């Protein structure tokens, strides 16, 4: 199981009147990390979309432990834990770069491979499955 | 020229660390008002999308005069000023309901009718043009 | 335990290239419903913020069952399940108004009462606790 | 006048059902570029916020020429054109990296230096003014 992470800067747009990152935006950051992880194993999603294939989030179980703040540099990790018939299970963490990778948030996220037209689950394209299997 | 306006509540998601509504979100509010205005003249956009027709914003000239804040109730107006060959010109205002409609923001926004596939301009469907003409 | 729900329209801003509502935005919709529920029991959050008190989401366990689409009218419910020392536990559902309230998403969400300066948990203000207790 | 630009990747969160980047998000991208430009001249905004100073967008005149799409890598430029008493005038462009920097959007954006409490304009802190003057 390969460790993958990407760096994300917190901008004004990500914050709220409480002075911290708006909670729903952590899910955006985690999705950016999954996108970069897919790219790192050679999968560019527009090529999937052109074949009418997309990834859809099925469930997310997320804990918000400490707040991220404006201008923070975050490290967002992404680990593929399990490859199902038509789904992927990830563990993801968001840590604070400038503070010894202090844990801010963690989540278990399940993503399905779907037909874009119908949004119904479908098996992974063979090439993609091979790349995924190498990574777990 | 008919006056149209809709009411929008400011939620946590709309604010930023400065304690006010994040500036880009005013464009979202104005687009919600244009959507409701279209609905008010009988145009439901999913029916257009099914015909491969969409509206795309071409330009926006917006002034941010006073900040909106968390929990404010805003009145967002939408006036069709001009119908072009493949475009619509709007004047829009955002005012504060609880303070005598104090002006917060105003904008001139130009929207094009486009083919969704190519994003190139196209004439309005006849039915829509008729409804638009009745409204100006 | 009182049943509370509010109606939310899906706009362009809420959708993504997959043609459906972007998953993180369901958390925004659920937070709007909690805000309206708080208002319905007499609690306006700016008054809390002025006392340096805020609500912060601690955890969210959310299932995305069916996609919401552009222009859908959603019913977002909010039920207070448990009042903790410094936290509230909610069950929330998003259903599709135009289709017999077909279930799209459901979530268990835990929210903490915090000091805004320190983001550390604190007990509820007595007035608010009374209003909350009446509602469960 | 120094040329500054930063690279931004388009993620799912930035797109809409039309298959392109949602128009209001271009303003977010431009604000990210201004933040990175400020950082490049030695100004970290949290230090300003701690002194009760913030930047607020006063006006934006933006043209959307060509759509950005999911997964595009964008170059967002930021040029300081004029330093006013309490304001900065910028010209900003968004171009497509993979296509010879094809122009997608351009904007004139005016930003005011404000007291965060009152949102009223104020002069720049002397240190910041010096750094700004070096850059124009």
Structure tokens at B99: 């303070």
Mean pLDDT of the C47-67 span: 96
Q: Do B12 and A13 touch (CB under 8 A)?
A: no
Q: Is the pLDDT of residue B93 over 70?
A: yes
Q: Which residues contact B43 (CB under 8 A, 6 or more apart)?
A: B128, B131
User: d(Cα D113, Cα D132) in Å, to the nearest integer?
Assistant: 13
Q: How many CB atoms lie within 10 A of CB B7?
A: 11
C50 touching chain B per CB within 8 A: no
A13 touching chain B per CB within 8 A: yes
pLDDT at residue A120 in the model = 95
Half-sphere exposure of A43 (CA within 13 A, CB side): 24
**pLDDT digits over B105-127, tens only?**
999 999 999 999 999 999 999 99
Q: Do C60 and A58 touch (CB under 8 A)?
A: no
Q: Do A35 and D12 touch (CB under 8 A)?
A: yes
The position carrying tokens 């409480």 is: A18
C-alpha distances in Å from residue B106, one per residue of B121, C121, D8, D91: 26, 40, 29, 21
Number of A:C CB contacts under 8 A?
Answer: 69
Instruction: Give per-10-residue mean pLDDT for chain D (136 aa).
Output: 91 95 98 97 93 96 97 97 96 92 96 95 94 86
Q: Are strands B102-115 and B87-96 parallel, antiparallel or unpaired?
A: antiparallel
Total domains present in chain C: 1
Mean pLDDT of the C9-37 span: 97
C-alpha distances in Å from residue C16, one per residue of A17, A49, C21: 25, 12, 6
**pLDDT digits over A56-80, tens only?**
999 999 999 999 999 999 999 999 9
pLDDT at residue C135 in the model = 79
Give burial (CB, 10 Å; 0-12/13-18/19+) of D23.
buried
Contact B131, B43 (CB under 8 A): yes
Torsion sign, CA atoms D44, D46, D52, D54: positive
Give burial (CB, 10 Å; 0-12/13-18/19+) of A84.
middle
Q: DSSP E strands: which ranges in D30-101?
A: 53-64, 73-83, 87-96
pLDDT at residue D3 in the model = 85
Best CA proximity match to B17, nearest among D110, D50, A13: A13
User: d(Cα D99, Cα D29) in Å, to the nearest integer?
Assistant: 19
Higher pLDDT, C128 or D100: C128
pLDDT at residue A136 in the model = 77
User: d(Cα C104, Cα D105) in Å, to the nearest integer?
Assistant: 36
What angle is formed at CA B37 by the lines to CA B31 and CA B40, rounded to 5 degrees?
150
User: d(Cα A110, Cα A87) in Å, to the nearest integer?
Assistant: 7
Check: complex ipTM more than 0.85: yes
Contact A28, A105 (CB under 8 A): no
Largest CA distance in chain C: 46
Q: Which of B16, B117, B131, B135 is catalytic?
A: B16
Instruction: Please name the member of D17, D24, D70 whose beta carbon is closest to the beta carbon of C15.
Output: D17
Average pLDDT, chain A: 95
Best CA proximity match to A49, nearest among D19, C14, D96, D97: D19
- Which residues constitute the domain of residue B58? 4-135
For A12-73, the DSSP string reads GGGB-TTSBB-THHHHHHHHHHHHHHHHHTT--HHHHHHTTEEEEEEEEEEEE-S--BTT-E
Mean pLDDT of the A92-121 span: 94
Q: Is the pLDDT of residue A42 over 70?
A: yes
**pLDDT digits over A115-135, tens only?**
999 999 999 999 999 999 987
**Ramachandran quadrant class, B105 (left: phi over 0; alpha: psi -120 to 50; beta: rest):** beta
Find which of A25, A35, A49, A60 to mutate to test the C interface (most C CBs within 10 Å of its CB): A60
Contacts of C32 in chain B (CB under 8 A): 9, 11, 13
Contact D38, D81 (CB under 8 A): no
**pLDDT digits over B26-75, tens only?**
999 999 999 999 999 999 999 999 999 999 999 999 999 999 999 999 99
Q: Is the pLDDT of residue C4 over 90?
A: yes
pLDDT at residue C1 in the model = 64
Model-level pTM greater than 0.95?
yes
Contact D14, D21 (CB under 8 A): yes
Q: Is the pLDDT of residue B1 over 70?
A: no
B16 touching chain C per CB within 8 A: no
Question: Residue C60 belongs to a domain with what CATH number?
Answer: 3.10.129.10
Nearest-CA distance from B136 to chain D in Å?
24
C57 touching chain A per CB within 8 A: yes
Q: Which residues contact B20 (CB under 8 A, 6 or more apart)?
A: A17, B67, B68, B69, D56, D119
The position carrying tokens 């874009």 is: A116
Query: So which residues of A are the catalytic ones?
Result: 16
């Amino acid at each position: 199981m390969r460790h993958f992470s990407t760096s994300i800067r917190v901008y004004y747009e990500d914050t709220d009147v409480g002075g911290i990152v708006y909670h729903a935006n952590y899910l955006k950051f985690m999705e950016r990390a999954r996108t970069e992880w897919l790219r790192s194993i050679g999968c560019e999603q527009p090529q999937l979309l052109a074949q009418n294939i997309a990834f859809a989030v099925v469930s997310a179980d997320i804990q918000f432990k400490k707040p991220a703040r404006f201008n923070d540099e975050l490290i967002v990790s992404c680990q593929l834990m399990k490859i199902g018939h038509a789904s992927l299970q990830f563990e993801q963490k968001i840590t604070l770069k400038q503070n010894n990778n202090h844990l801010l948030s963690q989540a278990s996220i399940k993503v399905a491979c779907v037909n874009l037209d119908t949004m119904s689950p479908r098996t992974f394209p063979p090439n993609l499955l091979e790349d995924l299997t190498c990574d777990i």
